[in-house]
Structure 1
Amino acid sequence: MMDTLEGLRYGALEERLAASGVNPVHAKPLFNAVQRKLLRGGLSEVEGVLPPLQRWLDSEVAPGHCPIDLVDETPSSDGFTRKYLLRLHDGAEVESVRMGFPGRYTACLSSQVGCAMGCVFCATGQMGFSRNLSAGEIVAQALHVERELRKDTGEQLRNIVMMGMGEPLHNFEPTMDALEILTDTRGLNIGPARVAISTVGYIPGIQKLARHPKRYSLAVSLHGASDAERGKLIPINKRWPLSDLLEACREYSAIKRARVFFAWTLIRGVNDSDDHAHRLANLLHGMDAHVNLIPLNPTEDYDGQAPDELRVRAFQQIIQDAGLPSTVRQRRGIDVAAGCGQLKAKKRSRLQRY
């Protein structure tokens, strides 16, 4: 897909204007109109958009807006979580989620259509991989969530998490370009410290992220404390085993001087025992790590259940007693299938029945 206004970094927008003979000073009102005022049209009415810029916008060489349309929108009974199924220019569909509570709203964004990682309990992984998203398609999701949030609550997004459909580090450059746009002070102005990037252990991406100039939080999905256990849940563990993954995480932590967040999806009878907790604690011993425990979000294609609350708390206590900070992630939006890929999977399942 060609560049769109949503997907142009500020510097890239200046370059595009200059290449067309337009003074780059016009980048500021245009970037502001798209990224802060969230306009998808009517730019001629925006203060500061002067005739030379409008002529460029009307020309054939100017990029247009990213085509993105709402297909389905589902609010959760918690009153805060809302899931969006969005259609892109080629008919592909991705999901974005608004979650949080007043004063701390977060957008969970997709980076790919489907996913190549194949995690067995993940609805997106069960779909397979179709294609990467462009920077503009990633940014357009955030702008859609922000637009709806302002309309519904009058508030603005505080956090971005790249934890939707796809493996963001498998689509590295477009994801980094999108985050540069979203963290730009002239746009949504989401602080880099309020951005988290989730990976299932794609080591080349972790190594690149360690050397990237921005310091985003790194969240790594573990789910197993041995290669045998983890490999049953996360197939890429066969390519990048735990020892290599943890070494890459230590390198990231040393270079960025930052804590690594490790996600552990708790599945009843699979990885939720006291023994699993002790082995996880030993695995992360000596690392600057935080463990996020996530009771399983059920999917139609995976026969697994979340443990009860007492088992979750017992698991967490072992982690904390070992000196590792740990949080039990609230399962927001279960009633709207807020896990990655679940809304799209539900739609596909409905269509297959007819």
Structure 2
Amino acid sequence: MPLQDIRSLNEEQLSEWVVALNEKKFRVKQIFEHLWKHNTASFDEMNNLPLSLRDALKKDFSFHKLSIIDKQTSKDGSLKYAFQLSDNQIIETVLIPSNRRSTVCVSSQVGCGLACQFCATAHLGYKRNLQAYEMFEQIFIANEESKLLFGYPITNIVWMGMGEPLLNYEHVVACIHYVSSPKGLGMSKSRITLSTSGITEGIRRLADDDIKIHLALSLHSAHNEQRSTLMPINKTKPLSEVANALMYYHQKTKLRISIEYLLLESVNDSLEHARMLARFCKQFPVKINLIEYNTHPYSNFKPSNTKQTIAFMDYLKSKNLIVTLRQSKGKDIAAACGQLANQTGMDSK
């Protein structure tokens, strides 16, 4: 049976293990920084630890590192990485450069079980949650790639890849801690955004736990019945409950909520849909991101035409709402919003 990955221990558990060996407490900080600041790949590389401690680490623990099995570059400069996990499952991560900024789009699960009708990842189904270290490694590798390829580190982290982050709450929050800790990557939480389909208990828990990251709601329809068709999660987490949870999050954090809205031709792009969206968004401070739909083989939806998109956007602006139109990058390599489920991933099912 494989040894436990040392990165599955939290700081308290690591401390208990070190103390049980009668080692000095400062060794905990040294090991922690090797794991979460430097992403050290082996115990032999921990040169500031005594040989006896390194041997003890080797005896009890291992590293289950991610392997890059595919890397594709878009004509717009975005990169998509396919990572193989220790159990041979596949996940995808996207690195997006833009005007001295670099954003990594992180996956939180292998596949996804929410069956959103417009999303390619849904066709993988749900396999398992990712460990905190599996998400951290996506970020660390993307950071190193950004420095190598673009000359600067990542500036933003978005949990908008494969999976529903709030259905993997413990590991996602642990990863956020490692990414933002001065003993880890030291990134500001103001640079981190988590997108959710509307897991209300997770939204409230984020607020109560004082995580203070930016929150985005994957909405796509402000009509309950239609949203339940597009996103079955709405049957158990209807819009009224989601809105209450978002109000609670804003009250606790004072942060503006981002609303993600795919424009689907003749589905959710009429002026009546815009009116419903405006009403929903008047309940708390928001920024609306309208998203051009990215086609893929697992859905028959089409993107809204330019005329309808402009009319939809203009209506929202007339209601004094902050609105942007986001054109996803990486479409030509199936790395754009809603496209993460390439053939490699499908083959691992």
TM tier, smaller: over 0.9
1:104 counterpart = 2:101: yes
Write the letter of the residue equivalent to 1:264. Answer: Y
- The equivalences for 1:65-214 within 5 A come to 65-79=63-77, 81-214=78-211
Given that 2:90 and 2:345 are in contact with CA atoms closer than 8 Å, whether structure 1 keeps it comes out as no
Displacement of 1:2 after TM fit?
7.2
Q: Deviations over 1:252-301 (max 9, x none)?
A: 11111221111101111111122211221012214111111111111211
Given that 1:267 and 1:304 are in contact with CA atoms closer than 8 Å, whether structure 2 keeps it comes out as yes
Q: Deviations over 1:108-150 (max 9, x none)?
A: 1111111111101111112211111111111121122123223
Given that 1:219 and 1:261 are in contact with CA atoms closer than 8 Å, whether structure 2 keeps it comes out as yes
Of 162-171 and 25-34, deviating more is 25-34
Given that 1:93 and 1:344 are in contact with CA atoms closer than 8 Å, whether structure 2 keeps it comes out as no
Residue-pair matches, total = 348
Displacement of 1:213 after TM fit?
2.2
TM-score under structure 2 length normalisation: 0.92
Of 25-34 and 290-299, deviating more is 25-34
Distance 1:146 1:52 in 2: 32
Given that 2:90 and 2:348 are in contact with CA atoms closer than 8 Å, whether structure 1 keeps it comes out as no
Q: Deviations over 1:75-123 (max 9, x none)?
A: 11112x1111111111111111111325321111111111111101111
Instruction: Pick closer, same or farther for the CA change 1:2–1:344 going to 2, 3 Å.
Output: farther
Displacement of 1:10 after TM fit?
4.2
Q: Deviations over 1:216-254 (max 9, x none)?
A: 111111111111111111001111111111111111111
Of 338-347 and 88-97, deviating more is 338-347
SS of 1:126's equivalent in the other structure is helix
Given that 2:67 and 2:84 are in contact with CA atoms closer than 8 Å, whether structure 1 keeps it comes out as yes
Distance 1:6 1:330 in 2: 36
2:41 is matched with: 40
Percent of aligned pairs with the same residue?
31
Distance 2:150 2:31 in 1: 26
1:50 is matched with: 50
Displacement of 1:5 after TM fit?
4.0
Q: Deviations over 1:151-174 (max 9, x none)?
A: 323321221111111000011111
Displacement of 1:344 after TM fit?
3.4
Instruction: Pick closer, same or farther for the CA change 1:182–1:349 going to 2, 3 Å.
Output: closer
SS of 1:249's equivalent in the other structure is helix
Displacement of 1:13 after TM fit?
3.2
2:217 is matched with: 220
Displacement of 1:4 after TM fit?
2.8
Given that 2:220 and 2:261 are in contact with CA atoms closer than 8 Å, whether structure 1 keeps it comes out as yes
Displacement of 1:341 after TM fit?
6.7
RMSD: 2.3
Q: What runs of 5+ residues in structure 1 fail to find an aligned partner?
A: none
Displacement of 1:179 after TM fit?
0.9
Instruction: Pick closer, same or farther for the CA change 1:338–1:22 going to 2, 3 Å.
Output: same
1:13 is matched with: 14
Given that 1:336 and 1:343 are in contact with CA atoms closer than 8 Å, whether structure 2 keeps it comes out as no
1:274 is matched with: 271
Given that 1:6 and 1:34 are in contact with CA atoms closer than 8 Å, whether structure 2 keeps it comes out as yes
1:265 counterpart = 2:258: no
Instruction: Pick closer, same or farther for the CA change 1:320–1:274 going to 2, 3 Å.
Output: same
Write the letter of the residue equivalent to 1:89. Answer: S
Displacement of 1:211 after TM fit?
0.8
1:309 counterpart = 2:306: yes
Given that 1:120 and 1:126 are in contact with CA atoms closer than 8 Å, whether structure 2 keeps it comes out as no
Given that 1:95 and 1:341 are in contact with CA atoms closer than 8 Å, whether structure 2 keeps it comes out as no
Instruction: Pick closer, same or farther for the CA change 1:307–1:64 going to 2, 3 Å.
Output: same
Distance 1:19 1:193 in 2: 37
2:234 is matched with: 237
Write the letter of the residue equivalent to 2:342. Answer: A
